[in-house]
Amino acid sequence: MLKKFQAIYIEISNELKTSYHISEYLYEQASGSLYKGTHILTGQSVLLYHLSFESSKCDFARWEDVFKLTIAELKSIPSAYLVEVIDYFINENGPYIVMKNYDITPLRQLYPNAMGISELRQFVVESLNALEDIHKLDHIHGGISPESFIVSPNSNGSHRYKIIDLFIKELVPFLNGWLVSSYIPSHPALLPAEFFEGGLIDQRSDIYTLGQTFYYMVLGGHPFVELDHEEIYSRHKNHSIYELKAILADFPEDLSDLIEYMTQADPADRPQSIQQLRENSNFFTQLQISTA
């Protein structure tokens, strides 16, 4: 891991030397580490996302082409629910994505225990909006987890939830040799069976991992976290997990049913898209009634 206070020097197109300075380590997850930093020449505050990097397993020239094209696309995304990408650089420590600075707290730091129902409802709506924005671009996230989200305050006292680790399916597998066994983008407790099987990873996989993320935030943890990979795979494959309304007597049925729908073992039984989830979930019917 990088030291918390370190200047990172990069070459820019006009061959002048400039740099970003890491001022604060925020947290680390399987796909990378997040830092706060500043541009030394301009003083601009930024977020720096350092992607996990295994150069020995990487066709670097091929990966760098994909990385640059992906960053160019990320810079053009107009979404209130995704972080704003400014730039990138690659140095001896690997690749970094430079993002707009926000007054943020990582989701798990803000809610170290179970998330309240009102906060959960807002999180469900905004995180689904974020995932839909990714899918509209014909991309897959590839490993949503609680660590995928940062939280920033709104002026009215509520929160805005944003996805921080964008497009890791495109970026991290290249770095890890495209091997499922070495590409675990979030805790395996949250991953659908198709990840362990090397099967097709698509929108339905994202919907599954987001549903398991909701499950995690409801309980302040996940019942599969302490299991080994083989047992985790078996539990996901056989859908061996209790519905929330069965273990929490006062848990809202519409939320429980939403999460149950999102986390079906067979991808064919899950929502095929966020739009289908909206159309077939009582959660969104109740939401429309409450906001009417």
Evaluate whether residue 1 is within a structural domain.
no
Instruction: Tell me which residue range forms the domain holding 32.
Output: 6-100
pLDDT of residue 176: 46
pLDDT of residue 272: 97
Claim to verify: residue 38 and residue 88 sit in the same structural domain: yes
Annotate 89-104 with b (16+ C-beta within 10 A) or e (fewer). Answer: bbeeebbbbbbebbeb
Q: What is the CATH number of the domain that holds 17?
A: 3.30.200.20
Bridge partners, 159 (sequence order): 153
Claim to verify: residue 199 and residue 234 sit in the same structural domain: yes
Evaluate whether residue 11 is within a structural domain.
yes
Using the 3D structure, point to which of 76, 100, 124 is the last residue of a domain: 100
Claim to verify: residue 147 and residue 183 sit in the same structural domain: yes
pLDDT of residue 28: 81
Note whether 132 and 98 are within 8 A (CB).
no
Q: 196 is written with which tokens?
A: 């362990």
Claim to verify: residue 181 and residue 211 sit in the same structural domain: yes
pLDDT of residue 90: 85
Q: What is the CATH number of the domain that holds 261?
A: 1.10.510.10
* pTM (predicted TM-score): 0.85
Q: 10 is written with which tokens?
A: 């990069």
Claim to verify: residue 32 and residue 147 sit in the same structural domain: no
pLDDT of residue 112: 92
Claim to verify: residue 213 and residue 124 sit in the same structural domain: yes
Using the 3D structure, point to which of 56, 78, 100 is the last residue of a domain: 100
Using the 3D structure, point to which of 61, 76, 100 is the last residue of a domain: 100
The vertex-68 CA angle with 66 and 74, nearest 5°, equals: 100
Rounded average pLDDT per 10-residue block, the chain, 292 residues: 42 46 84 88 91 70 84 85 89 87 88 93 95 90 89 87 82 51 62 86 95 95 88 92 90 95 96 95 76 46
Evaluate whether residue 157 is within a structural domain.
yes
Claim to verify: residue 169 and residue 250 sit in the same structural domain: yes
How many separate domains does the chain show? Answer: 2
Claim to verify: residue 141 and residue 258 sit in the same structural domain: yes
Token pair 């300075």: residue: 21
Evaluate whether residue 250 is within a structural domain.
yes
How many CB atoms within 10 Å of residue 223?
15
